[in-house]
Structure 1
Amino acid sequence: MDTAAPATALSFRDATLADVDTLVALIESAYRGDSSRAGWTTEADILQGQRTDPEGVREVVESPDSRLLAVERDGVVVACCQLERRGEHAYFGMFAVSPGQQGGGLGRAVLAEAERLAREEWGAGEMHMTVISVREDLIAWYERRGYRRTGRMTPFPYGDERFGIPQRDDLEFELLVRELG
């Protein structure tokens, strides 16, 4: 007999300006510092400093071509992601899952909902994202979900501490793409 409690349903909504501080804290906890080490998405060994700031999150919330999804479980924000309309494709970014919630399918559910929204509401044929190329485990996770590496690289913004303080000199972003049709 299965005595495990059923998983609580997730709710997805567009973030508001009232969510900015909560989302900044979530994103920071998923990628930076000791708290991020509780999950597997940490960048603490390759980047220190901030991952985002209130101004950056506020810009996404207010942009007419972007949506910042806040994902709640039991009234608590446990994940988020940005969707941006870019012509025929959508861009996926600012993705964070609370470290204590990682590894249980939450990220997969958020990604699937983001893809559905981009396809059904914007008519996007592809989803694009950029991932730091040395994050092989993260890239492999996206590949298992249908994303393909393109080999198209863009430089990491060294010297711009809004994106963190690099701990190595070989960082760059690789474009990953998935067909949504």
Structure 2
Amino acid sequence: MTTLDPAGTALLQRLAASEKPGLFDDVPPATGSDRHDRVTIVLDAARRVVKVTVADLTAVRRPDDLVTAVKEAFATADGNRALASLEKQGLADDYLARADDLMAGRARAVAPPRPDLSREAITARRAARGAAPTTAPPPAPVTAENGYVTALRGADGRLMRLEVDGEWLSAARPEHLERALEQALHFGSES
């Protein structure tokens, strides 16, 4: 089975977003594990964490080890989510070949057309836009109910940062760690 690394996932998502917005919106949950199979994460189409499983608790007792395992598992699940969407649409071979060509330097990324920068065009765009758009505030970190695990997700759902209390982690039971990770990795309007 093909799996995508984080750079490959990001590249595919940039390619698809410029050509087919919403391409990744309708796929079944995707699963990913870190390279040592210590943590498994299941993501839905909207990058919401559906389930977290800690398979090897002794290997993630240190915060750095847990953060690395969770980030790898999240990235793998996200790549599998993107790949499943492309396969469902029958576009996987084309996008993977294009991404390979871009990464190998055999092709160039197609830039979007340059906007008309004439004074008239700028004035027309401003008039059509109306009031200045308000930017959404950056996402706030989410902390698990127990207060020991905090995650920051980007506006698009990517996992940006994960913090874990080392003292709590050294004695945590697997089910408590899984629940805390699910709560902290919450994203979107639903669980």
Question: Larger radius of gyration, structure 1 or 2?
Answer: 2
TM over 0.5: no
TM-score by length of 2: 0.29
Greater per-residue helix proportion: 2
Greater per-residue strand proportion: 1
